[in-house]
């Protein structure tokens, strides 16, 4: 089977790219190792442990692609404020959407909800979808890429996009180099019921071992649910994972200084090792890397998939413009326009996360003083905070058309 463009990976980012190119006239095939089925949504079902804080820019992209109604009809929790504080000091900072005349800072949405809303749109489109199709081998064949899937099925296309996540098979098989290192952190994620309301606020406490986030969820009336991301050193993560539910809730409440009262219940816990990865190049002739296949960053600012949505929107824009000009889409000269627009932005975000993580893990007294004074100082600067809020909304820098108002 041959297509103009094959996207490997129908996760949140790959599916977004396919939909952004829906009316391009290109013959697109999107392949994924999973079943790509959409489960009926059950509002009574437990929350999925994996969630994302979707920025305003991501929301706009998903609205323009007709995906947002599918998310809103399922389950999404808007939040308008963010409170961050240093657990081993006195510094704190508070951000509010109202400071930039926005209604929300973003929405906390279960990854499964985003994924299902995207798949629903994909199933209704003319885009070719190949479920249960795991990429095993990849090589050049003339001007095309030749892909071999499980069970030996072969596909070919002159343009290939890797959207197959952090352990991208495309990236590995194409020999794309990466820079990577362990954060020496594992993230424990789960959903918890608290005694007190979350106040539509994203809460983050920096503990000595790493950040602990409580993110608001849209729970049933009268119940107060949050999604937690507890990043900590591996040995501590192992200990916390081994605790029974009651002991885990007690330790979690203590680590969070009981800001939302007692933690009354915790769902099934997942433990995810955190690793920073960045591809040295996002493109080569006939190939582009997007989303986690190109970069994975620490979840402390909840930016991973937001960067991925912007990658998808920018790559689609570059390809659409090139097609209008009659250029060959697989030329490196064309694909480099995507890399030039996205790499500096992604690198800046990764550097900021790295800096934050190091500053908050630093033990020497001068650094602890600096971060406490720094947080309080920035908290008093309305303009600096507004700048930060615009970053969090994803509205700073070179925005693709799909993310503009
Ligand atoms: C603890 C934690 C919390 C996070 N919180 C946030 C947050 O609040 N906000 C945020 O923006 N980001 C967050 N992230 C990051 C976010 O989850 C990722 O950036 C996002 O899931 C990446 O999406 P993707 O589509 O690029 O990759 P994936 O979601 O990994 O999708 C890859 C797809 O490729 C398919 N695939 C893989 N290999 C193959 C193959 N060989 N052949 C065919 N198909 C294949 C898979 O089946 C999958 O469907 C968090 C991450 C972690 C670890």
Number of the ligand 1 atom closest to the C-alpha atom of 55 = 11
Q: pLDDT band for position 151 (50/70/90)?
A: confident
- Which residue has a Cα nearest atom 30 of ligand 1? 165
How high is the pLDDT of residue 207? 86
> Quick one: what percent of the chain has pLDDT higher than 70?
94
* Choice from 6, 7, 12 to test ligand 1 binding pocket (greatest atom count within 8 A of CB): 12
On whether residue 68 sits in a domain, the answer given is: yes
Which tops the pLDDT comparison, 61 or 299? 61
Number of the ligand 1 atom closest to the C-alpha atom of 297 = 15
Distance 14 CA to ligand 1 centre (A): 10
Per the structure, the count of domains in the chain is 1
Distance 166 CA to ligand 1 centre (A): 7
Which tops the pLDDT comparison, 93 or 46? 46
How high is the pLDDT of residue 383? 76
How high is the pLDDT of residue 89? 73
On whether residue 317 sits in a domain, the answer given is: yes
On whether residue 242 sits in a domain, the answer given is: no
Cα–Cα distance for residue pair 111/181, rounded to 1 Å: 25
Cα–Cα distance for residue pair 299/307, rounded to 1 Å: 12
Nearest to 235 by CA among 276, 184, 269: 184
| CATH number of the domain residue 353 falls in | 3.50.50.60
Instruction: Give per-residue pLDDT as tens, 332-386.
Output: 999 999 999 999 999 988 877 776 666 666 566 666 666 666 677 777 777 777 7
- Which residue has a Cα nearest atom 14 of ligand 1? 304
Distance 298 CA to ligand 1 centre (A): 13
Looking at the predicted structure, is the pLDDT value of residue 233 above 70?
yes
Number of the ligand 1 atom closest to the C-alpha atom of 187 = 1
Enclosing domain of residue 101: 5-180+275-403
On whether residue 360 sits in a domain, the answer given is: yes
Number of the ligand 1 atom closest to the C-alpha atom of 108 = 8
Instruction: Give per-residue pLDDT as tens, 157-215.
Output: 999 999 999 999 999 999 999 999 888 899 999 999 999 999 999 999 988 888 999 99
Distance 76 CA to ligand 1 centre (A): 19
* Choice from 116, 151, 164 to test ligand 1 binding pocket (greatest atom count within 8 A of CB): 164
Looking at the predicted structure, is the pLDDT value of residue 114 above 80?
yes
Q: pLDDT band for position 298 (50/70/90)?
A: confident
How high is the pLDDT of residue 170? 98
How high is the pLDDT of residue 373? 66
Instruction: Give per-residue pLDDT as tens, 248-257.
Output: 999 999 999 9
How high is the pLDDT of residue 395? 84
On whether residue 107 sits in a domain, the answer given is: yes
How confident is the prediction for the chain on average, in pLDDT? Answer: 92
Average pLDDT over residues 16-43: 96
Cα–Cα distance for residue pair 376/43, rounded to 1 Å: 41
On whether residue 391 sits in a domain, the answer given is: yes
Looking at the predicted structure, is the pLDDT value of residue 261 above 70?
yes
pTM reported for the whole predicted model: 0.95
On whether residue 261 sits in a domain, the answer given is: no
Q: Which residues line ligand 1 (CB under 6 A)?
A: 8-14, 31-34, 52-53, 134-135, 163-165, 169, 187, 189, 229, 272, 291-292, 299, 302-306, 308
84: number of CA atoms within 13 Å, CB side?
20
Q: Contact at 8 Å (CB) between 216 and 255?
A: no
Average pLDDT over residues 278-304: 93
Q: Contact at 8 Å (CB) between 67 and 123?
A: no
């Amino acid at each position: 089977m041959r297509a103009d463009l094959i996207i490997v990976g129908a996760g949140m980012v790959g599916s977004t790219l396919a939909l952004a190119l829906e009316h391009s006239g290109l013959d697109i095939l999107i392949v994924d190792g999973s079943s790509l089925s959409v489960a009926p949504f059950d509002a009574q079902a437990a929350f999925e442990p994996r969630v994302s804080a979707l920025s305003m820019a991501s929301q706009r992209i998903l609205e323009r692609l007709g995906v947002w109604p599918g998310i809103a009809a399922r389950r999404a929790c808007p939040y308008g404020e963010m409170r961050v504080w240093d657990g081993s000091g006195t510094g704190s900072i508070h951000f509010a959407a109202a400071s930039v005349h926005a209604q929300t800072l973003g929405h906390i949405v279960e990854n499964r909800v985003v994924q299902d809303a995207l798949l629903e749109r994909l199933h209704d489109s003319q885009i070719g979808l190949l479920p249960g199709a795991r990429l095993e081998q990849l090589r050049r064949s003339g001007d095309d890429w030749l892909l071999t899937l499980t069970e030996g099925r072969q596909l070919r296309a002159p343009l290939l996009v890797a959207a197959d996540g952090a352990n991208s098979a495309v990236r590995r098989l194409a020999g794309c180099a990466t820079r990577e290192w362990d954060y020496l952190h594992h993230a424990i994620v789960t959903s918890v019921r608290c005694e007190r309301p979350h106040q539509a606020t994203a809460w983050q406490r920096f503990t000595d071992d790493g950040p602990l986030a409580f993110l608001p969820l849209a729970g049933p009336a009268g119940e107060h649910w949050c999604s937690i991301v507890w990043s900590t050193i591996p040995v501590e993560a192992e200990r916390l994972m081994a605790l029974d539910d009651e002991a885990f809730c007690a330790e979690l409440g203590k680590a969070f200084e009981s800001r939302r009262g007692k933690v009354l219940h915790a769902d099934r816990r997942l433990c995810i090792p955190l690793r920073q990865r960045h591809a040295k190049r996002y493109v080569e002739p006939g190939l582009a890397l997007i989303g986690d296949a190109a970069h994975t960053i620490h979840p402390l600012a909840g930016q991973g998939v937001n960067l991925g949505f912007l990658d998808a929107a920018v790559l689609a824009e570059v390809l659409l413009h090139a097609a209008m000009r009659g250029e060959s889409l697989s030329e490196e000269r064309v694909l480099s326009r995507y890399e030039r627009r996205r790499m500096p932005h992604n690198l800046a975000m990764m550097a900021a996360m790295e800096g934050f993580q190091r500053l908050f893990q630093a033990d020497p007294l001068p650094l602890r003083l600096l971060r406490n004074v720094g947080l309080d100082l920035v908290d008093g600067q309305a303009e600096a905070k507004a700048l930060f809020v615009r970053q969090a909304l994803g509205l700073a820098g070179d925005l693709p058309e799909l993310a503009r108002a």
